[in-house]
């Protein structure tokens, strides 16, 4: 069931060969990748299921709140009620509103934010840790950064690996891809961007992890 692998490239090959892995319409997997919506989703999805995020994002869309200006100005109680299903709704609402205001203040608009924001700036925001920062960097800004989430940590742990911290896992994942880039090109095409490979690799990890769980794997 679980792969016997030496490096992250071998894990990627294993996951790509798994049948029944759902393929997303979005080529980066995250719905509406490259847009501001990913920033909001990265906060909302913390410790909850993606289905709840979809519901909440639709609420925001229906109220025309899914943009920097509206989110930073809207009534906090209203925002709380719209994202309630995601859990931790009070702190998520407050942190999301602060984040939007800070993006406007520091960058002016989303396009400038996309071009100029750093990982350090994201990590300095209350409510954004390593995973949320990297999700935003990769799926909203297409930077060459691979997300490490709970699924990834558990899968690697079950494969027998032991890592010291987040950075060590991330480096292991990224290095295995970089060191085997010629072979990665055979899978994804000539000159494929590392950003896209990292995004789809992470996606495979998530989909595979969900799948083995449904099958009752421990």
Residues of the shown chain interacting with DNA in the complex, contacts defined by CB under 7 A = 30, 41, 45-52, 84-85, 87-92, 125-133, 135, 139, 149-151, 154, 206, 210
Q: Are 204 and 8 spatial neighbours (Cβ–Cβ below 8 Å)? A: no
For residues 177 and 206, which CB has a smaller minimum distance to DNA in the complex? 206
Residue 142 C-beta: closest distance to DNA, Å: 14
DSSP string of the chain?
Answer: -----SSHHHHHHHHHH-TTPPPPSSTTSSTTTTSHHHHHHHHHTTTS-HHHHHHHHHHHHHTT--SHHHHHHS-HHHHHHHTGGGSSHHHHHHHHHHHHHHHHHHHSSHHHHHHH--HHHHHTSTT--HHHHHHIIIIIT--S-----HHHHHHHHHTT---SSHHHHHHHHHHHHHHTHHHHHHHH-TT--HHHHHHHHHHHHHHHHHHHHHTT--
For residues 49 and 61, which CB has a smaller minimum distance to DNA in the complex? 49
Residue 105 C-beta: closest distance to DNA, Å: 18
For residues 151 and 161, which CB has a smaller minimum distance to DNA in the complex? 151
Q: Are 34 and 26 spatial neighbours (Cβ–Cβ below 8 Å)? A: no
Q: Are 146 and 139 spatial neighbours (Cβ–Cβ below 8 Å)? A: no
Residue 69 C-beta: closest distance to DNA, Å: 23
For residues 141 and 180, which CB has a smaller minimum distance to DNA in the complex? 141
For residues 113 and 180, which CB has a smaller minimum distance to DNA in the complex? 113
Structure tokens belonging to residue 178: 């970089």
Residue 183 C-beta: closest distance to DNA, Å: 26
Residue 185 C-beta: closest distance to DNA, Å: 25
Residue 126 C-beta: closest distance to DNA, Å: 5
For residues 169 and 180, which CB has a smaller minimum distance to DNA in the complex? 169
């Amino acid at each position: 069931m679980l792969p016997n692998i030496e490096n992250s490239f071998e894990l990627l090959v294993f996951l790509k060969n798994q049948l029944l892995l759902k393929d997303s319409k979005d080529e980066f997997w995250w719905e509406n990748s490259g847009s501001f919506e990913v920033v909001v989703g990265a906060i909302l999805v913390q410790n909850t299921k993606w289905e709840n995020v979809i519901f909440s994002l639709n609420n925001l869309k229906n109220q025309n709140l899914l943009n920097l200006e509206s989110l930073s100005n809207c009534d906090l109680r209203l925002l709380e009620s719209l994202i309630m299903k995601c859990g931790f709704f009070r702190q998520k609402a407050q942190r999301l509103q602060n984040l939007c205001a800070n993006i406007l203040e520091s960058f002016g608009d989303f396009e400038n934010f996309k071009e100029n924001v750093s990982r350090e700036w994201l990590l300095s925001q209350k409510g954004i840790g390593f995973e949320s920062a990297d999700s935003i960097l990769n799926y909203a800004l297409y930077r060459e950064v691979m997300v490490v989430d709970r699924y990834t940590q558990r899968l690697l742990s079950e494969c027998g690996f032991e890592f010291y911290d987040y950075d060590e896992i991330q480096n292991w994942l990224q290095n295995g891809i970089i060191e085997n880039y010629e072979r990665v090109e055979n899978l994804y095409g000539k000159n494929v961007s590392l950003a896209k490979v990292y995004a789809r690799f992470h996606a495979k990890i998530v989909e595979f992890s969900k799948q083995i769980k449904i099958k009752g794997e421990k």
